[in-house]
């Protein structure tokens, strides 16, 4: 009997521990990722709350009001058409057709789900209609509007800018966009998918921008690779295919640093072959590929890198082709990690939440996603990226008075029709303006150096001329 009671006590203790662990995890999960529960457009609790609560307002980092509810209960956006289109993928719209925009993803704040018991009691006795919290974002809406004017007319693609020291997103622009106050049938059915947020959801081959990861793998697993001399003959033959450079250029004797600057495919395909899938895969996964992104403020599609395959796939993966896929936001994080000494920050767009009475409920907190490389590796890659802009393929991104570092990319996505995307990723090497960028122009008429790098130049110039220096 005593032994029976002893086992019952043990079982009760185990059950108590399990229930406690479940409660703690549930609290953590809701606090950390609760926005995903509210973002579902058919969530009955959200629909019910909208009929009872005046939805809060959304402001940008400079205090510009981006969204609010008028006296008739209708959701309003900026009066200027260009301005409201420039931030539509960031904000979303009131019906939730843009997946995971602020209007839906942060509805737990905007619809007052986080109000305290005493606030509810006060509303009950005052007879006032309940009001949701106001949300302030890290994004500069004027920069987003400027980016809209920089992007090639009639082209699809994306631009994202983030502070590489804090992870705060300064701009999030997807093209084509649309008017949230006049959504047409064409917007819903167009093959160009204007409702689709390409910054966070679009998966693309990264092309030569992936050479940042291949370069990191070579530095880590091939001792002395910096001082090696490679021979670029214009062709690197594999089993079934041949890797070539743009315009079939032959670079001759070349170091890895110079190969990076001029974007030599032959050298980096050869490096990938030497490294093999285990080293390449481990490095890529260290940079977040094949990971499940669960960020607090944003839903981001997961990047992928093949961890096995034949020699052809391995070589092409070294230059960001084949089965390698990623989002513009992810590649911005990759560039940002080089600038930040190897530490990749979690991207965040929520600067603060305040109650209708002006009480600050939540303020910005930066969070490191992971350390993706050593400071030494980051320093070497930073030097390569600087050389790319000063004397390599990224010269069109250079800005007078700023130290700009970057990597161009031209990613082929249609082998039959030879269609390509133009990429540029990079950053300003400055404590005053610590910003990284990723630019992609789909179905480009020219490469990243000609199409994407000049957009980065204009964005960095805008930041230099209009942003306050970082504290």
- CA 60 to centroid of chain Cα atoms: 18
Provide the token pair at 243. Answer: 């890797």
Q: Specify the DSSP element, H or E, that contains 108.
A: helix 107-110
pLDDT at 103: 93
Mean pLDDT of 410-439: 91
What residues form DSSP beta bridges with 422?
Answer: 410, 441
Q: Which of 1-10, 33-42, 171-180, 446-455 has the lowest mean pLDDT?
A: 33-42
Average pLDDT over every residue of 404-417: 87
Closest CA to 197 of 236, 225, 164, 156: 156
Strands (E), 70-175: 75-77, 130-131, 134-137, 157-163, 169-175
Contact residues for 338 (Cβ-Cβ < 8 A; gap 6+): 212, 378, 381, 382, 385, 405, 427
The span from the CA of 154 to the CA of 446, in Å, is: 15
Fold of 207-466: Beta-lactamase (3.40.710)
Reduce the secondary structure of 53-97 to three states and give it as a string. EECCCEECCCCCEEEEECCCCCEEECCCHHHHHHCHHHHCCCCCC
> Smallest Cα–Cα separation from 255: which of 290, 289, 229, 225?
229
Cα angle for residues 428, 410, 148 (degrees, 5° grid): 55
Environment class of 123 (CB within 10 Å of its CB; exposed 0-12, middle 13-18, buried 19+): middle
Which strand ranges, in their side-by-side order, compose the sheet holding 419-428? 169-175, 157-163, 435-441, 419-428, 404-414
Report the distance separating Cα 94 and Cα 98, nearest Å. 9
Report the alpha-carbon distance of residue 117 to residue 133 in Å, rounded.
15
- Read off the pLDDT of each residue in 190-212 and give the average, rounded to a whole number: 97
75-77, strands of its sheet edge to edge: 75-77, 65-69, 58-59, 134-137, 350-354, 360-363
Mean pLDDT over 410-426 rounds to 86
Beta-strand relationship, 130-131 and 53-54: parallel
Q: In this model, does residue 40 exceed pLDDT 70?
A: no
Global pTM? Answer: 0.89
Asked if residue 163 lies in contact with residue 333, where contact means CB atoms within 8 angstroms, the answer is: no
Q: Where are the domains of the chain?
A: 207-466
Of the ranges 30-44, 248-262, 452-466, the best mean pLDDT one:
452-466
Contacts of 437 (CB under 8 A, 6+ apart): 159, 160, 161, 332, 335, 424, 425, 426, 427, 456, 459, 460
According to the model, what pLDDT value does residue 46 have? 57
Query: What tens digit of pLDDT does each residue of 351-360 get?
Result: 999 988 888 8
């Amino acid at each position: 009997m005593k032994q029976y009671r002893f086992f019952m006590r043990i079982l009760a203790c185990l059950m108590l521990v399990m229930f406690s662990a479940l409660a703690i995890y549930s609290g953590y999960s809701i606090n950390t990722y609760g926005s995903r529960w509210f973002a579902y457009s058919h969530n009955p609790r959200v629909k019910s709350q909208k009929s009872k609560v005046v939805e809060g307002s959304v402001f940008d980092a400079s205090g510009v009001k981006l969204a609010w509810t008028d006296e008739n209960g209708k959701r309003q956006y900026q009066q200027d058409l260009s301005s409201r289109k420039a931030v539509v993928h960031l904000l979303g719209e009131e019906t939730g057709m843009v997946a995971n925009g602020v209007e839906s993803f942060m509805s737990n704040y905007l619809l007052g789900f986080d109000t305290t018991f005493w606030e509810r009691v006060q509303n009950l006795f005052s007879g006032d209609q309940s009001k949701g919290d106001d949300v302030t974002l890290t994004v500069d809406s004027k920069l987003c509007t400027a980016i809209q004017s920089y992007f090639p007319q009639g082209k699809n693609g994306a631009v994202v800018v983030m502070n590489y020291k804090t992870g705060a997103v300064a701009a999030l622009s997807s093209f084509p966009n649309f008017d949230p106050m006049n959504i047409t049938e064409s917007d819903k059915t167009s093959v160009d998918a204007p409702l689709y947020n390409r910054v966070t959801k679009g998966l693309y081959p990264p092309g030569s921008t992936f050479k940042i990861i291949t370069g990191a793998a070579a530095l880590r697993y091939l001792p002395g690779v910096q001082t090696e001399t490679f021979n670029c003959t214009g062709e690197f033959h594999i089993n079934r295919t041949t890797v070539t450079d743009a315009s079939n250029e032959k670079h001759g004797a070349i170091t890895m640093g110079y190969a990076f600057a001029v974007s030599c495919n032959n050298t980096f395909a050869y490096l990938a072959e030497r490294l093999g899938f285990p080293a390449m895969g481990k490095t890529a996964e260290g940079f977040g590929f094949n990971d499940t992104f669960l960020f607090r403020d944003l839903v981001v599609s997961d990047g992928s890198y093949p961890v096995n395959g034949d020699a052809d796939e391995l070589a092409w993966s070294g230059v960001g082709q084949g089965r390698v896929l990623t989002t513009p936001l992810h590649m911005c994080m990759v560039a940002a990690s080089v600038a930040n000494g190897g530490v990749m920050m979690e991207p965040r767009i929520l600067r603060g939440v305040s109650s209708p009475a002006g009480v600050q409920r939540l303020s910005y907190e930066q969070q490191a996603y992971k350390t993706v490389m050593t400071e030494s590796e980051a320093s070497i890659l930073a030097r390569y990226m600087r050389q790319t802009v000063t004397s390599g393929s990224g010269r069109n991104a250079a800005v007078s008075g700023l130290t700009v570092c970057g990597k161009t990319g031209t990613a082929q996505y249609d082998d039959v029709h030879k269609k390509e995307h133009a990429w540029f990723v990079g950053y300003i090497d400055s404590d005053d303006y610590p910003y990284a960028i990723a630019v992609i122009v789909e179905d480009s008429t020219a490469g990243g150096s000609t199409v994407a790098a000049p957009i980065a130049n204009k964005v960095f110039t805008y930041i230099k001329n209009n942003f306050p220096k970082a504290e």
